Structure 1
């Protein structure tokens, strides 16, 4: 795809003289900029802070697509998303999903149960870190019928990264208050009582299931799509030790498959 300079300049003109823009206005400006550079089917922007539920800033989905890509995602599957893990690590840059995904991601239960519903061939994300411990991920998505992003288009996005980073930090600054409001609201927008503790979903999943911290770490990595070998390397333990812990977890939870493990995981999300 060749660059549409006229569309690009029109998008830039929308920012002239505007010290601030709301989510929809800047999101649309960003969409126009990216559309002039590469072809994509969907665009979604999430802000991440620690283990908290991501805040959706902008998307191009219709109502049905929004349920899958945003509503269901925020309900818990985000915890297993490679983009969420990248935001947790505070990595900045432009990455293809397959660069970030664990070695068994595309055969994991999370992929088969949730991610395949998106019908995506590929997802590329701009990751922008801010000073308030927030990472903003701007995702460009292509459906299976469209195919993956060509290398030339990915190279263009890499070149655009410094400009995108500067604009995002300017127009999407000060998002901490939104996370604070979300935390005060509690699960599903319900206000917490005065003595009620604000537990994040990532901390509450295995609460009360009698798993050790090591077992919890291994289970989380299994569900993210890591093989036993990959888990061993990340936790600096042997593959055999990982397998022993996995067997112990299955015994404690009374399950025998990763499908059951994911089901239990989703049931325990707050």
Structure 2
């Protein structure tokens, strides 16, 4: 599509002389900028820190869509999301979901039971690390009916990345108090190690070893046995032995049951 300069300049004008903007104000400005450059169906912006439930800063979903894309996501599935893991790695840039996803992501139980509910053809994210181990991810989504982003539009997004990064660091800095405030409201410690205890202890409570825990989490994220072996520097055969032992310990026989058990124990 051609660039809509009038819409783009209008979006820029909204930031002129403003030292600060609300979440909705900056989110709308970002949406308007992207509308001038590429075609998409949804925008959603999350801030991630460690294993904490991400903060939803902005989105364009209706009420029913918000349940799938935000409410259900924040309840636990985010822990298996390639975007979440990339945010935790503090990577900066513009990435397609398929660039970040593990080799078996699109056949994983997480994909089949949660991600397909979104009805997306593609998702592209601007990853912006800011202060306090926080990364802001601004996602542009296209539905199956719309189809994936064309290469030319992805190239355009890569070119505008430095501007988006600068704007995010200016208007969405200082998110640390907002993460900490959630613990004050709940009367809990602000220590990062206590932020999401169930995410850290769920497998230990199920009597899995550290190595077994690492393997089943990679399985749920969509890694094949070969990919897991490479990441953990062990043989594919050893990975398969650990997987069989895990299934035996947990009394299950499928990845469907593994994911169900994981999400159940998270809550």
TM-score by shorter chain over 0.5: yes
Q: Which runs of 5 or more structure 2 residues have no equivalent in the other structure?
A: none
Instruction: Return the offset for 1:184.
Output: 3.7
Q: What do the CA deviations read for 1:78-118 (whole angstroms, capped 9, x no partner)?
A: 00000001011111100000000000000000000000000
**1:265 aligned to 2:267?**
no
1:54–1:74 CA contact under 8 A, matched in 2: yes
Alpha-carbon distance in 2 for matches of 1:163, 1:204: 40
Equivalence for 2:178: 178
**1:48 aligned to 2:48?**
yes
Query: Secondary structure of the equivalent of 2:127?
Result: strand
Query: Secondary structure of the equivalent of 2:61?
Result: coil
1:128–1:136 CA contact under 8 A, matched in 2: yes
Query: Secondary structure of the equivalent of 1:36?
Result: helix
Q: After alignment, is 203-212 or 249-258 more displaced?
A: 203-212
Equivalence for 1:148: 148
1:183–1:198 CA contact under 8 A, matched in 2: no
When the two structures are aligned, how many residues end up with a matched partner?
Answer: 263
- Of Structure 1 and Structure 2, the greater helix share is in 2
Instruction: Return the offset for 1:199.
Output: 4.9
Equivalence for 2:246: 249
Equivalence for 2:109: 109
Instruction: Return the offset for 1:206.
Output: 1.8
Alpha-carbon distance in 2 for matches of 1:65, 1:120: 12
Equivalence for 2:221: 224
Q: Which runs of 5 or more structure 1 residues have no equivalent in the other structure?
A: none
2:124–2:141 CA contact under 8 A, matched in 1: yes
1:96–1:123 CA contact under 8 A, matched in 2: yes
> Superposition RMSD on alpha carbons, in Å?
1.3
**1:240 aligned to 2:252?**
no
Instruction: Return the offset for 1:122.
Output: 0.1
Alpha-carbon distance in 2 for matches of 1:129, 1:202: 22
Q: What TM-score results when the alignment is normalised by the length of structure 2?
A: 0.96
Alpha-carbon distance in 2 for matches of 1:238, 1:58: 43
1:53–1:74 CA contact under 8 A, matched in 2: yes
